[in-house]
Amino acid sequence: MPDSIAILDFGSQYTQLIARRVRECQVYSELFPWDTPTETVLALQPKGFILSGGPASVYEPGAPTLPGYVLESGLPVLGICYGMQALTHALGGRVGAAAEREYGPAVVETLRENPLLPAGSQPVWMSHGDRIETPPPGFIPLAASSNSPIAAMGNLAERRFGLQFHPEVRHTPGGTEILRRFVLEICAARPDWTPASMISQATARIRAQVGEEALLSAVSGGVDSSVATALAAQAVGGQLSAVFVDTGLLRQGEVAQVEQAFRRTLGPNLHGVDASEKFLRALAGVTDPEEKRRVIGELFIRTFEEQARGIGQPRFLVQGTIYPDVVESSAPERRQARRIKTHHNVGGLPQDMAFELVEPLRYLFKDEVRAVGERLGLPPELVWRQPFPGPGLAVRCLGEVTRERLEHLRAADAIFTQELERAGLLRVRPAGGDQTGELVGTAQSFVVLLPVRSVGVMGDQRTYQETAALRSITTEDFMTADWARLPYDLLAHISNRIVNEVDGINRVVYDITSKPPSTIEWE
């Protein structure tokens, strides 16, 4: 088991970022709701604890409290925002309402030399209404801002610290260094969380779970299912069979790309089936997005089961669940296998399935999944493929799904992708090529075909055709997202190409809504 840090979540919108920053220090971290049973958290054998922020006040009735085992463990503790206040409250200090709330940028000045904070002043990101009035016994102020006399505090002997600001967000430029100091120096955690170690641990878990039995994988063409399948292939070799169902709802060229990528490693154990006609017939007349998911999920698994019967009906099924899926479904348990339920990735799956799940990516973020995929030798076009929903283009083709509308959507989506690639904006990357600069690029970009017709003029002829909506977002964790500020000239060029090259579309619009209040996908 790698050295690790346990992160207790008190409800902050930034908690998942804490885990990402710790893992950027090459140390494994895992999130737990603050009231997770003691034995579950301590089973991780953490080297230290980080307490997240949260929206509550420590004096509110029913406010989250610091679990007793955190202090009893004697391990290092770092409280962030509400976590700092909960630590203060538990140890006998005093928390009070700030005279002026701090939301946004601030500057903190380090007051004395300490192992957590660098000397001097630094910009940080604040988000709090309460502040520390009196630190607990044994704690001393380490930093101050204009509105927070105790912007950071510490008990150096007991290795317990608190920060009123958020080091995990990019608006605190030196935040990663602060977390690195806590994790690597104060907690003395070994930086052994690397793609190689992720692969080693994942393959060991797969072998332990599956043993000598056969294992089945559903390859969808998405990054997660592809990397999960490649991990399973490395773990059990010939015990793995993969089924690639062509639903007719995939992106342009996707079927050929996926088959080519896996044919080399799986050979005859890759079973492809063209079920596109079945899916289109089943979707005829269906417009409600939830009904689409139910129809697709039901038919997908029945098609999958047919193929499985032909190869011996394996009991185990590889699923490409990743950590954001786990966090969003509030499932902190560490089980490695479970039965598929309707909320899993494909969407709308029947509950009477007999497969037991193997989830090798269950505790990996998307960037870690991609790093593992590269390490396994998967082709870049597969590893860096844009995220894709389980029901495929059916939930990007609003209204009824027909073969003609799908072809229009596929063509428009391919143009959007091509032009973003040419502009160097299809993937997120640090500005200037280093790892510290501002991120540029998009995390996910796609086209949605709307069942909205409008009048246009092409070649002096009146047209009455459908509308394509471009969706392009920036995000670090897909829990929240902002719309990408693409250059106007680029948007104009993309719009011009789509209208001129794709039949059935005469208008292009750009979605400028963040998540929340919207979702990334339209359906």
333 is annotated as an active-site residue: no
Q: What percent of the chain has pLDDT over 70?
A: 90
The enclosing H or E element of 380 equals helix 380-383
**Residue 342 confidence (pLDDT):** 34
Q: Identify the DSSP state of 419.
A: H
pLDDT above 60 for 222? yes
pLDDT classification of 360: cutoffs 50, 70, 90: very high
pLDDT above 70 for 100? no
**Beta strands 240-246 and 28-33, pairing class:** unpaired
- Count of helices and strands (H, E) across the chain: 15, 20
pLDDT above 80 for 334? no
Work out the average pLDDT over 439-466.
89
Q: For residue range 255-274, what is the model confidence (pLDDT) as tens digits? A: 888 888 788 777 778 888 99
**Residue 98 confidence (pLDDT):** 63
Work out the average pLDDT over 444-472.
93
Active-site pick, 25, 30, 102, 168: 168
Active-site pick, 25, 30, 102, 166: 166
Which residue in 305, 318, 213, 339 sits closest to 262, CA to CA? 318
**Residue 51 confidence (pLDDT):** 97
Q: For residue range 21-72, what is the model confidence (pLDDT) as tens digits? A: 999 999 999 999 999 999 999 999 999 999 999 888 888 888 999 999 999 9
**Residue 350 confidence (pLDDT):** 54
Average pLDDT, the chain: 87
**Residue 429 confidence (pLDDT):** 59
Contact 29, 5 (CB under 8 A): yes
pLDDT above 70 for 135? yes
pLDDT above 80 for 73? yes
187 is annotated as an active-site residue: no
Percentage helix, strand, coil for the chain under 3-state DSSP, each rounded to 5:
35, 25, 40
How far is 259 from 243, CA to CA, in rounded Å? 10
CA angle 475, 478, 480 (to 5 degrees): 75
Active-site pick, 25, 30, 81, 344: 81
pLDDT classification of 328: cutoffs 50, 70, 90: low
Contact 3, 27 (CB under 8 A): yes
**Residue 339 confidence (pLDDT):** 31
Q: Residues 6 or more apart from 508 whose CB is under 8 A from it?
A: 467, 468, 469, 470, 494, 495, 498, 499
3-class SS of residue 396 = coil
Query: Torsions phi, psi of 470, nearest 5?
Result: -90, 135
- Note the residue count of the chain: 523
pLDDT above 90 for 476? no
Structural domains present in the chain: 4-186 (3.40.50.880), 195-383 (3.40.50.620), 396-510 (3.30.300.10)
How far is 435 from 313, CA to CA, in rounded Å? 46
Residue 357's DSSP bridge partners are 317
3-class SS of residue 33 = strand
**Which pair of tokens denotes residue 517?**
């209040």
Q: For residue range 163-187, what is the model confidence (pLDDT) as tens digits? A: 999 999 888 999 999 999 999 999 9
Work out the average pLDDT over 217-232.
87
